[in-house]
Amino acid sequence: MNISVSIYDKLKSYGFKLTRGRKLIINFFIDRNQPVSAMEIMDFLHKRKINLHKTTIYRQLEFLLELNIIRQLQFADRKKMYEIRTSDHHHHLVCKNCQKTEKVASAALETEIQTMEKDILAGSDFKNIRHSLEFFGLCRQCQ
């Protein structure tokens, strides 16, 4: 079962349209399988001679977020990153210099984080606890 087709079906079932730009953006997310910025999406489309306006890019991002197809990440930068939402829970290792990114994951760490989230629920007035954990460093090229 093709992941992009299953996303298309989801959109159609809600009555949303499958435009050329939307399909390209969805497939870009699937192919990259890594966090990308709005600007990177624009550049990718531009190379394929598809000139979507930046407003449209941001509206697509908002739309895909709303439908839980992508997720938003905030690294040390001011700009937001987005990646396709998959079932595997993972975090990132980001180069402080060039933003090259790798996935990282640890079952032991997730267990500890879940414990922490339970403690927070019990010990504070906050509800709906989520977390963001990212690692930063210098990649080989940037050392």
CB 88 within 8 A of CB 72: no
Give the N- to C-terminal CA distance of the chain in Å, as an integer.
42
115 binds, among a second copy, Zn ion, DNA, none (CB under 5 to 8 A by kind): a second copy
21 binds, among Zn ion, DNA, a second copy, none (CB under 5 to 8 A by kind): DNA
**Length of the chain as a residue count:** 143
Binding mask 19-58 for DNA (x = CB under 7 A): xxxx--------------xxx-----------xxxxxx-x
CA pair distance 91, 78, nearest whole angstrom: 19
Residue 84's nearest CA partner among 2, 1, 7, 5 is 7
Q: Report if residue 70 touches DNA, rule: CB under 7 A.
A: no
Torsion from C-alpha of 76, 22, 5, 68, nearest 10 degrees: 40
User: Based on CB atoms, which residue is closest to Zn ion, 89 or 127?
Assistant: 127
Q: Report if residue 9 touches a second copy, rule: CB under 8 A.
A: no
| From candidates 2, 5, 6, 17, binder to DNA by CB under 7 A | 17
CA pair distance 10, 42, nearest whole angstrom: 24
Ranges within 83-102 binding DNA (CB under 7 A)? none
Q: Report if residue 131 touches DNA, rule: CB under 7 A.
A: no
| From candidates 3, 18, 50, 98, binder to Zn ion by CB under 5 A | 98
